[in-house]
Chains A and B, each alone.
Chain A
Amino acid sequence: MRARAVSLALITVTVLGGAACSNAPLSQQGPAPAVRTSAPEPPPAVRVTLPKSPLSQDQQITHTLNRLGYGPRPGDVERVLQMGLARWIERQLEPGRIPDDRVEVALQAFPTLTMPVPELVRAYAEPDQKILAKLRSGQMSQEEMRAMAPPEKRPFRIAAELQAAKLTRAVLSERQLEEVMTDFWFNHFNVDARKGAVKWMVADYERTAIRPHALGKFRDLLLATAHHPAMLFYLDNWMSTKADLVPVFGPNRGRKRGLNENYAREIMELHTLGVDGGYTQEDVIEVARAFTGWTIDRPREQGTFQFQPVAHDNGAKRVLGHVLPAYGGEQDGVKVIDILSRHPSTAKFVATKLTRRFVSDEPPPALVERAAKTFRDTDGDIRMVVVTIITSPEFFSAEAYRAKIKTPLEIVASSVRAVDADVQAPGAPGSQQPGGGLALAQQVNKLGEPLYQQQPPTGYPDVAEAWVNTGALLNRMNFALGLTANRVPGVRVDLSRAVGSADRRKPEQVLDALLRSVLQGQVTSQTRSVLAAQLDDPEVTRATRDDRGPADTDVEKLAALVLGSPEFQRR
């Protein structure tokens, strides 16, 4: 790969025949409602050309692996160099074409990922409230409780498997950009797995509403999330009805219901236009009216989307200046999705968030404007917006290089990748071996990012200040120490892979090898000299044999220091 001087106009788009196939599993919840979007069309291949960059070739590759994925593994930079960086990016833009067998096999350990919602509700039922009360009051022991409601068959197991799957994929998947984008959009369209019936719907949500559209059309993504019972439940739209509805049957019969504005407000503030995107409280009410009747068929039994005509407000609505005629039925909501997904404020808002994710906490305004223009010109083609951002001079600028602080998920996944650790599958159901994915997810949780359990609809913040505080930094250092010392259950680190042929009796060699494999040799002179000074420490370099074994370098501690270094906290 050679850095070439090109303008964005040189990005060419070629549509290939239907060769690409989507690997997204189909929904297993029976026939989809008429308006539900089907799996996206086979994606067109995108040819990318990279701009001139002040970064060295190795830096450009490291930068790209850190931003479009969860960081390089030992040998990755060399592999990308051989393939060419532009070619590697092109492949990442079409994840369906990248074989990912290791992940497919690893995910078989998590049966809840693909189970239909009604089956999950039955097989992972909530323990009876009376049992819980007895447990709390001491009338029942933990053992009796376990026998009546085994932990591996309780609802939290579903979120736990999803967390483990996320770590497994982040570490193992060859489709790194798809993982990053799936995480990005889940966060953008956040739901909290702990809220009510969402716990049974959250895996299906990621699998059917988020992942298939992660590099697709924004409108399809917005519609898929709007229809999904997880979102309908999380933002209360399933309970929203026309004013003063009094159901004549069902659990709420005889009790007056009415409009719930929660989803209407969030779809504009957080999902599309942004808080300053130019909507009014009147728009909130009108959008809420448009979505009345979009509900869930028995959330704690069936859990599928349902349109209830009786709950729908049949009056005419006016949304952001567009008139929705009376008796639009379910299509009122679809029309709102069309209006919002094509609004210029949405283009700007989404472009800003993506630029913040890929480039820097302070997104360069000129790049945001170009990305927003791509959004408008392509009718919200996410793939093309991403291409605009990641092939820009701003992306490959010196200012952007290592400018982002890694989130807890990013620090954990990139650490495991950097030392090429094995993430073991969980043992048989009921066994004490929870698997490495779950243990790593618990580490992410401890660092402050409990996955799929972020209560606010804003999702997790994507700026440094949110993740850097004294307690968090200590936890990061302790994670590095625990990982390299093989103290994370189900995760096996063999540092000889990272150290390669370096002679353990020669600490300088070991340090150089670690800096190469973990930081690609891109380390400040201060950090390099501080680490080198550590080599004089008898704890790091044991000159003579002791009860821990023959004299050599404490590679584990040295590797932990590198993983805990300021450089590695950045991507």
Chain B
Amino acid sequence: MDCACTRRSFMKGGALALLGMGSVPRFLVRTAYAQGTVPRPKILIAVFQRGAVDGLSMVVPHGDPSYYTSRGSIAVARPGAGSAEATVDLDGFFGLHPAMAPLKPVWDNRHLAIVHACGSPDTTRSHFDAQDYMETGTPGVKSTQDGWLARGLQAVHAAPASPFRAVAMGSQLPRVLRGDVGAVAIGTVADFDVKQDMGRMGAGTVNARRGFESLYEQGVQDILHGTGRETFDAVKMLKSANPQRFAPENGAQYPRGKLGENLKQIAQLIKADVGLEVAFADMGGWDTHANQGNEKGQLALRLTEFSQSLAALYRDLGDRMQDVVILTMSEFGRTVRENGNRGTDHGHATAMLVLGGPVKGGRMAGRWPGLAREQLYEGRDLAVTTDFRNLFAEVASRHLGVPAAAPLFPGFAANPAKYPGVLV
């Protein structure tokens, strides 16, 4: 089964090789992290805004004269002194949507950088094509099977490998983490076990787990047995780590909703030292073709949940943010002009956020192309000035340490001179 054997020949080299190859249960890996015998890994948390967020409402170019003339009812009000219902000014030209105010302190701490006018060189306005291209990292090529995060992680020699190196919150592995890295899809951390009672841990749980474990213990080189063995390693490791014991710290309050819940669990996995290197979560509801709203309304509600979730994660992790970068992405932006239904249609470039200790923050990165009609892409969309691959490549190489020669973006030579410069 392709490279399944490679990725499953765990314990190859690295610190734990001392303990004897192959026979060490991987839950012992955790002890190594916890005791500091293995350096704690750098962590990347990727958050996908599925459905194409309106970057011009999320990060408002209030200083661009064309912004207010292009957008009648959905423009977000200019920054007004003391008003909570207007753009939160950042640098005199750009500002955050008022619903994004929870992220202003992160900006002030210089832990938030924003890359505006970022996007794909491919011109598709199809959600699924654009999402696919952003996850495989190959704009315009549909035959790519694996994701760029999986390829990137595969190129970083992590020793020892943890079953929780790459985690996606949800029941399916997203395309971005498909590949030989052996990523785990987790619905909820609490449910990650064999359960005699669906939803409740019953007396028979241990027993049923032992039964299944024995069934999958056979040493056959086979995708089921390999994954089965990994599964029970992971279950045991998670049990010994018991991430649920970690309550949010530093007064962090995650909002209700899926993203908040998912980010809270990612924070728990980080604090439990299970060897997490890449975590992925997504949030939908950004496809605002009608009744988008301005300072209030549909989009404002989504942005509230989004920014409160990110701000809570930042607070919750506290000092651990020194090793963490949060990267947000969306497949494309939306039209500059408001449409006939007080909404926006599928456009081109959007804004992406980079948060974390290693971030060169409190600043806008990239180049602003302008909103005057002649500055727009095809006369209608914010033009792309930063290829998303240059942003992602900067994060992957400077933060995760993915070597330059790694096939992160096949057919594309990432150029450090073109990196937006979001990391210290």
Do A and B interact with each other, yes or no?
yes
Q: Give the residue name and chain of the B residue nearest to A473 (CB).
A: B231
- Are A275 and B143 in contact (CB-based, < 8 A)? yes
Residues of chain A contacted by B283 (CB below 8 angstroms): none
Most buried by B among A137, A478, A526: A478
B191 CB, min distance to chain A CBs, angstroms: 8
Find chain A residues with CB under 8 A from B191 CB.
Answer: 478
- Shortest C-beta distance, A236 to chain B (Å), equals 7
How near does chain B come to A563, taking the closest CB pair, in angstroms?
Answer: 11
Nearest-CB distance from A246 to chain B (Å)? 14
- The minimal Cβ–Cβ distance linking B144 to chain A, given in whole angstroms, is 11
Nearest neighbor of B127 in chain A, beta-carbon distance = A455
Is A369 among interface residues, defined by CB-CB distance under 8 A? Answer: no
Q: Is B208 a contact partner of A566 (Cβ separation < 8 A)?
A: no
Chain B min CB distance to A536 (Å):
12
CB-contacts of B129-173 with A (<8 A): 129, 131-132, 142-143, 163, 171-173
Closest to A251 in B: B340
Whether B398 sits at the interface, judged by CB under 8 Å, is: no
Any B CB within 8 A of the CB of A487:
yes
Instruction: Decide: B227 and A473 in contact? CB cutoff 8 A.
Output: yes
Q: A537 contacts the other chain (Cβ, under 8 Å)?
A: yes
CB pair B171 A474 closer than 8 Å? no
Query: Which B residues are CB-close (under 8 A) to A485?
Result: 196-198
Q: Does B31 contact A (CB under 8 A)?
A: no
- Cβ-defined contact, B234 with A481, below 8 A: no
- Assess whether B194 is interfacial by the CB under 8 Å rule: yes
**Bound-complex Cα distance A531 to B291 (A):** 59
Q: Find chain A residues with CB under 8 A from B375 CB.
A: none
Q: Which of A129, A255, A469, A530 contacts B290 (CB 8 A)?
A: A129
Query: What's the Cα separation between A108 and B7 when bound, in Å?
Result: 49
Q: Which A residues are in CB contact (< 8 Å) with B301?
A: 133, 136-137
Whether B184 lies near A481 (C-beta < 8 A) is no
Residues of chain A within 8 A of B185, CB atoms compared: 448, 469-472
When chains A and B are docked, how far (Å) is the Cα of A560 from the Cα of B216? 14
A365 adjacent to chain B (CB < 8 Å): no
Most chain A beta-carbon contacts within 10 A, residue among B184, B187, B224: B224
- Of B126, B127, B204, B298, the contact of A133 (CB 8 Å cutoff): B298
Report if A328 contacts B (CB, 8 A).
Answer: no
Q: Tell me the nearest residue of chain A to B193, going by C-beta.
A: A474
Are A471 and B187 in contact, CB atoms less than 8 angstroms apart?
yes
Q: How far is the CB of B238 from chain A (nearest CB, A)?
A: 10
Q: Which chain A residues (123-181) contact chain B, with CB distance < 8 Å?
A: 129, 133, 136-137
What are the residues of chain A within 8 A of B217 when measuring CB–CB?
A: 530
Q: Are B211 and A561 in contact (CB under 8 A)?
A: yes
The A-contacting residues of B in range 175-199, CB under 8 angstroms, are 178, 182-187, 191-198
- The reply to whether A530 and B198 form a contact with Cβ atoms under 8 Å apart is no
| Pair B215/A566 contact, Cβ less than 8 Å | yes
* Contact residue among A275, A448, A457, A530 (Cβ-Cβ distance under 8 Å from B128): A457
Do A481 and B195 have beta carbons less than 8 Å apart?
yes
Q: How far is the CA of A315 from the CA of B250 in the complex (A)?
A: 67
B2 CB–A CB distance under 8 Å: yes
Q: How far apart are the CA atoms of A276 and B124 in the complex, in Å? A: 20
Q: Is the interface of A mostly helix, strand, loop or mixed?
A: helix
Answer yes or no: A557 CB below 8 A from chain B CBs.
yes
Residue of A251, A477, A564 ringed by the most chain B CB atoms within 10 A: A477
The residue from B186, B225, B297 contacting A566, defined by CB atoms under 8 A apart: B225
Pairwise interchain contact A471-B192, C-beta atoms closer than 8 A: yes
When the two chains form the complex, which single residue of A445, A446, A470, A533 contacts B163, counting CB atoms closer than 8 Å? A470
Residues A482 and B198 in contact in the complex (CB < 8 Å), given A456-B132, A471-B187, A530-B214: yes
A481 touches B183 (CB 8 A): no
CB proximity to A under 8 Å, residues B208-224: 208, 211-212, 214-218, 222-224
Q: Is B235 an interface residue (CB 8 A)?
A: yes
- Chain B's nearest CB lies how many Å from the CB of A546? 11
Chain B residues with CB under 8 Å of A475's CB are 171, 187
Chain A 494-538: CB-based contact to B (< 8 A → 1; otherwise 0): 000000000000000000000000000000001100110110010
- Chain B residues whose C-beta falls within 8 Å of the C-beta of A399 in the assembled complex: none
Please give, as numbers and ranges, the residues of chain B lying within 8 Å of A255 by CB-CB distance: 340
Q: Mark A531-565, 1 if CB is under 8 A from B, else 0.
A: 10110010110000000000000000100110011
List the B side residues contacting A56 at CB < 8 Å: none
Q: How far is the CB of A443 from chain B (nearest CB, A)?
A: 10
Q: Which residues of A contact B227 (CB under 8 A)?
A: 468-470, 473
In the complex, which residues of chain A have a beta carbon less than 8 angstroms from the beta carbon of B224?
Answer: 405, 468, 473, 566, 569-570
Q: Is B9 an interface residue (CB 8 A)?
A: no
Contact of A561 among B131, B193, B215 (CB under 8 A): B215
Q: Once the chains bind, are A560 and B184 in contact (CB under 8 Å)?
A: no
By a CB distance below 8 angstroms, the chain B residues around A531 are 215
Is the pair B215, A527 in contact by a Cβ cutoff of 8 Å? yes
B residues in contact (CB < 8 Å) with A: 1-2, 4, 124, 126-129, 131-132, 142-143, 163, 171-173, 178, 182-187, 191-198, 204, 207-208, 211-212, 214-218, 222-225, 227-228, 230-231, 234-235, 290-291, 297-298, 301, 340
20 extra A-B contacts, CB within 8 A, seeds A445-B171, A564-B212: A129-B298, A133-B298, A136-B298, A262-B129, A405-B224, A455-B131, A456-B128, A465-B1, A468-B227, A470-B185, A470-B230, A471-B185, A471-B192, A475-B171, A478-B194, A560-B208, A561-B215, A565-B215, A566-B216, A570-B224
